[in-house]
Structure formats: C-alpha cells, structure tokens
C-alpha cells in the first residue's frame, strides 16, 4: 500500500479531546516495560543526572508513565501542538499523583526546532523516546535528523510506531476493529495514521543508507515497529 502522509501536528480540539479521552493504557504500559527491559539488558540505570525526553508527547500519557517509572530522573515531554501541550499540562495539574509527576515538564515545540530553541541543552539526553510520532513526520529525514541532533554518545533511542498495513483491505479491517472500541473521530484518525505509517523496509533502508548503523528496527507483533539503539 502506498504511503499517504497526514498532517504532522494534531491541533484540532475535538481530535485532541478524542485522543486524550481514549484508553491506550495497555499499549503504554507495554512500551514502558519494553524500554525498561532494554535498559536493563544494556546495564543502564537512570538517576538524578539523567534526562528523558518524550518526542511528540501528545497529552502526556507516555511522559507521565516515564516520570513515575524513573522518579529521580527529569522527564521532558515535547509536542508541537499547543492544544496537546495544554491538555498534558492540565492533566498534570489535576493529577491525583502530583508527587509522582514533579520530575515532569512539558515544552511546546516542533521537533525540528528543539535544538535551535536551546531548550534542553543544560543536560545530555540519556533516553530519547517517542510513541506514535514517526508516521506523522512527512519526510523521514526530519525525524532522523532530529534524533541525530539531540543524541550524544550516552543517548539511548527507543521509538515505537505503527507499521503500514500491506494493503487497503488490511487497513480497512484494522479500522473496523478500532471502531468497535473508539469513537468516529479517533477511528478516522487511526485509519489516516495507518496509511501514513512507514514500513519496516523504509525505516531499515533509511538507517542503512544514512550512516545510522548503531540504530536498528524490529517488528513488534504485526502492527508495530520499534527503532532503537544509538545514533
Ligand atoms: C498520535 S500522537 C501520540 C502522542 C503520544 N506520544 C502518545 O503516545 O500518547 C502524535 C503526536 O505527535 C505530535 N507531532 C506530530 N508531528 C510533530 C512535530 N513535527 N513536532 C512536534 N510534535 C509533533 C502531534 O501533535 C501529536 O500530539
């Protein structure tokens, strides 16, 4: 199936509300566990000196879980959508777990502007994460250039995203499955995201052709891809 890009930022209020109100917790917990296992395997433990950055953080679902999992480590969630950041900040303010989120803050910025905005440079990033971001990025080089510019020799990258279905029929089946759990706005967004996603081959080829051989990509089940490693 050919890739059909979708808008990068999620800025429509009803789109943001639908996304925020949906329960994706099973997948989110799974991602935190995957990151934790990967760090354990690499003998990396995160502490006060470290910095975790969650790119395309949306309403902060993953950022919050990262902050709770690594309570002594500063976590910064970054998104280019003002609506999303507003939502993330409100969730943090009204959270019943204020204490657990005191190491978390948010920044509104497009990923390509992070470095030049000089937001983060006080510390090197130890863990650079994203979930469901890559498919929003129109040109793959914009994603990889960003993670390259934000990474140093200590940065572990872990980026999970949808995998583009093989054909339209499979995409429509996944859309129908989604509609049994989520509302129409979210179902349509999910379908657009499936069509905008990259394939294993596209990501792997990009890595190989652009001197990023310390990164790798693997298929996580039949719906997801994970790009991980160092840059
Ligand atoms: C599908 S949501 C995922 C949100 C969150 N990572 C999660 O897993 O719940 C994708 C998010 O990436 C953000 N995004 C897309 N392109 C971006 C860009 N170029 N710069 C910054 N944020 C971007 C969107 O605004 C949106 O909030």
CATH fit for domain 13-229, picks 3.40.50.150, 1.10.390.10, 1.10.645.10, 3.40.190.150: 3.40.50.150
For residue 120, pLDDT beyond 70: no
Among left, alpha and beta (phi > 0; psi -120 to 50; other), residue 56 is left
Reported in sequence order, the residue ranges of the chain that DSSP labels E, i.e. its strands, are: 51-55, 74-79, 104-108, 127-131, 156-162, 215-220, 224-229
Phi, psi (5° rounding) for residue 164? -65, 130
Q: Is the pLDDT of residue 121 over 70?
A: no
From the list 115, 108, 122, the residue with the least C-alpha distance to 56 is 108
Is the pLDDT assigned to residue 122 strictly greater than 80? no
**Ligand 1 neighbour 15 (Cβ under 6 A):** no
Residue 20, helix vs strand vs coil: helix
Q: What is the mean pLDDT of residues 138-166?
A: 97
C-alpha–C-alpha distance, residues 111 and 129, integer Å: 12
Query: Would you say the CB of residue 136 lies under 6 angstroms from ligand 1?
Result: yes
In the chain, what are the domain boundaries?
Answer: 13-229
pLDDT of residue 174: 98
In whole numbers, what is the pLDDT of the chain averaged over residues?
A: 96
Please give the pLDDT value at position 183. Answer: 97
**Mean pLDDT, residues 122-131 taken together:** 93
Choosing from 53, 80, 178 the residue with most ligand 1 atoms within 8 A of its CB, the one to mutate for a pocket test is: 80
């Amino acid at each position: 199936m050919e890739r059909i890009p979708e808008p990068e930022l999620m800025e429509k209020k009803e789109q943001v509300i639908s996304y925020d109100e949906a329960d994706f917790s099973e997948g989110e917990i799974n991602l935190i566990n995957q990151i934790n296992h990967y760090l354990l395997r690499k003998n990396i433990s995160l502490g006060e000196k470290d910095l975790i950055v969650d790119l395309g953080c949306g309403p902060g679902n993953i950022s919050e879980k990262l902050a709770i999992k690594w309570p002594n480590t500063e976590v910064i969630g970054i998104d280019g959508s003002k609506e999303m950041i507003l939502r993330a900040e409100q969730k943090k303010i009204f959270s019943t777990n204020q204490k657990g989120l005191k190491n978390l803050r948010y920044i509104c910025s497009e990923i390509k502007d992070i470095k030049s905005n000089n937001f983060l440079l006080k510390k090197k990033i130890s863990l650079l994460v994203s979930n469901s971001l890559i498919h929003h990025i129109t040109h793959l080089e914009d994603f990889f250039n960003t993670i390259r510019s934000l990474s140093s020799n200590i940065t572990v990258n872990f980026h999970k995203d949808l995998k583009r279905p093989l054909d339209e029929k499979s995409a429509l089946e996944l859309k129908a499955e989604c509609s049994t759990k989520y509302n129409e706005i979210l179902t349509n967004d999910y379908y657009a995201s499936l069509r905008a996603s990259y394939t294993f081959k596209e990501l792997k080829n990009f890595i190989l052709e652009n001197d990023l051989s310390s990164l790798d990509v693997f298929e996580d089940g039949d719906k997801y891809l994970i790009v991980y490693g160092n840059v």
